[in-house]
Every structure is written in C-alpha cells, then in structure tokens.
Amino acid sequence: MILYIKNIDTRQDCNKPWEHLLEQYPALVEPIRESWNDPSSFVRKIYMITPTKTRAEQTPDLTRLAQTLYLIPNLFWIVVEDEPQVTLRLRRLLRSFHLPFIHLNIATPDYLKPTQNQSTWRRPRGVFQKNIGLQWLRTNTNKDEDALVYFADDDNTYHWKLFQEIRKVQSVGVWPVGLVGELLYERPICLNGRVHSWFHYMYRKRKFPTDMAGFAIHLRLIHHYSTYVFNVSATSIAEQESQILNTMTTIDQLECLANNATKIYVWHTKTQSMFLTSIERLRNAGMKYDLVNQL
C-alpha cells in the first residue's frame, strides 16, 4: 500500500513550507509533472468553454470542476453564464479559484426554456452560451495559435488524464464518455487509431453519436469555419455534436485517443436537484431567505 500522507516534520524551520509539502504530498504535483513531461501531449493550450445555468447546485458543481482544473497546466477557462448580466455572485466565485478565466454571459431566451413539468430534452441546454464562447475565441485568439478547444459542461466529471489526451489532438480527437446514452459508456470503436464504428444505442440516426464531452477541436478549425454556430432549434438538440463535427471534419479524419478509445476519462454525471421545499416554509413563516443571490 502506498501511503501518500506522511508526517510533516514540524521541526523544520522553512520559509517556504509548500516546498516541503510537494515532497510530502506527491499527489499535489504528480498530475502536473506527468502532463509537462508527456512528449506526446507537450503542453499546448486548451480553451475550455463551460456554459453554466443558475441553480442551487451551480456553486458546488463549479467548485468541483475548478478544483479539477488546478491539476491542468495551460488551460484557459471560458465560463458563459446563462443570465442577462454577469452576476457578482459568480464573478466572486470564479475569482476565488485563482484560475485563468473569462466570465461572459448570455441568457437563454424565455420562450426556449422548459416550462414546469416539461422535459428539458428538446430544449437548448447551454447552446447560446457555447456560441458566445465560440465568438469570443474568434475575436480574441490568433487563428495561427496551436491550441485546442473543448466544451465542458459544469456537471460532468473529468479525470486529469483527459486533458493530456486533448493536447494530442491535431485536428479533431474523439474518446469514450462514461454514463451517457443510458449506457455505462458510449465510445468510438477504433482500428489503428481511426474510427471504425460507434458503440451507442440512443438516437441511432446521429452521424457522430458522441456526447459533447467526447471530442476536442483544434482552434484553427473554429477560425476556419468562422460562421459556424450551434443550432438552437428543437429538432437539432440531439444533433448538436453531429452538426459541429459534420461541419468541421469527416469520420475518416477523426483521431482516436484515450488508448484507441478504450479508456474512460470523462463521465456525463448529473448532480441531483436538491429538494429545497423548506425554503417556502420559511418564507411562509415570514423569514427572509434568498435562495441563490445572497450566497
């Protein structure tokens, strides 16, 4: 058994205690060391676009994601809030992480939001926000920059090794996604690094049956297809991934990553919505209690 937590020698008189911490807690630096030292994924920049919806679970979800990003060198986080104005609440949270980020916003129009008891499935989720992220990239990055673009929802679970795979992408890379499509995983089936077919069940007509978390695109393609935007129409919601991939690449060109698409490094997890019914009871009892904005 490897025990990573060793006793800190309190007798040591050290001006920079963290230098000792690095020796004593290798888990703090090992992912970063391995990323920097991996010759096949030399540390190219990743632009990561995260749409984020206001809800009670948003702060913990973003906290978990941000704390994954501490392990990832050279990543720029584009957070696009689903609000008519950026909120001070989210700005404060993002600043507290000390990560390189930009905080943008756009509100999903009311008429496209699901009404109560209506399924969210046919409604755009983070589509307007991803488009704002694309627009920002086109105006704020150089088309010749060697960098990768990844769409990362705020509620998924990301292994740090995923980002090593993203950095290997030359044009468009694909890999398995866990817990998606009512399966333990969906994945491309690859032969010699190229996609042969797909393992999936839901929405079988999709040309590229992968979740948004299952691919990354070189920045050059985002600039090249300079008018491409995700489509917000209801019928295209299950087709978001296929539309962007069909525009920017072909199946033959896809690069199979994550050990020929045999490793799962990202999971399409969902945070359960909490029952906050006691809030109403408190309000009814005359107590002032703000759900989100005062936190």
| Residue numbers 36-95 binding ligand UGA by CB under 6 A | 50-53, 82
Which partner, Mn ion, ligand UGA, none, binds residue 131 by CB below 5 to 8 Å per kind?
Answer: none
Q: Which of 81, 165, 186, 241 is the catalytic position? A: 241
From the CB of 12, what's the least distance to ligand UGA, in Å?
44
Smaller CB separation from ligand UGA, 53 or 220? 53
Q: Does 165 bind Mn ion (CB under 5 A)?
A: no
Which partner, Mn ion, ligand UGA, none, binds residue 82 by CB below 5 to 8 Å per kind?
Answer: ligand UGA
Smaller CB separation from ligand UGA, 43 or 86? 86
Which token pair is 145? 């920059």
Q: Does 155 bind ligand UGA (CB under 6 A)?
A: yes
From candidates 35, 48, 105, 153, binder to ligand UGA by CB under 6 A: 153
The vertex-75 CA angle with 165 and 133, nearest 5°, equals 100
Q: Does 255 bind ligand UGA (CB under 6 A)?
A: no
Active site residue 83: no
From candidates 61, 81, 153, 239, binder to Mn ion by CB under 5 A: 153
Of 145, 128, 142, 143, nearest to 49 by C-alpha is 128
Q: Is 155 annotated as a binding residue?
A: yes
Q: Which residues pair with 71 in a beta bridge?
A: none
Q: Does 187 bind ligand UGA (CB under 6 A)?
A: no
Q: Does 239 bind ligand UGA (CB under 6 A)?
A: no
Q: Does 154 bind Mn ion (CB under 5 A)?
A: no
Smaller CB separation from ligand UGA, 126 or 176? 126
Which partner, ligand UGA, Mn ion, none, binds residue 209 by CB below 5 to 8 Å per kind?
Answer: none
Smaller CB separation from ligand UGA, 44 or 55? 55
Q: Which residues contact 72 (CB under 8 A, 6 or more apart)?
A: 35, 46, 160, 163
Identify whether the C-beta of residue 48 lies closer than 8 Å to the C-beta of residue 77: yes
Of 240, 237, 268, nearest to 119 by C-alpha is 237
- Total of chain residues touching ligand UGA, rule CB under 6 A: 19
From the CB of 20, what's the least distance to ligand UGA, in Å?
38
Q: Which residues contact 105 (CB under 8 A, 6 or more apart)?
A: 80, 81, 82, 83, 84, 85, 86, 132
Query: Which residue numbers are catalytic?
Result: 241
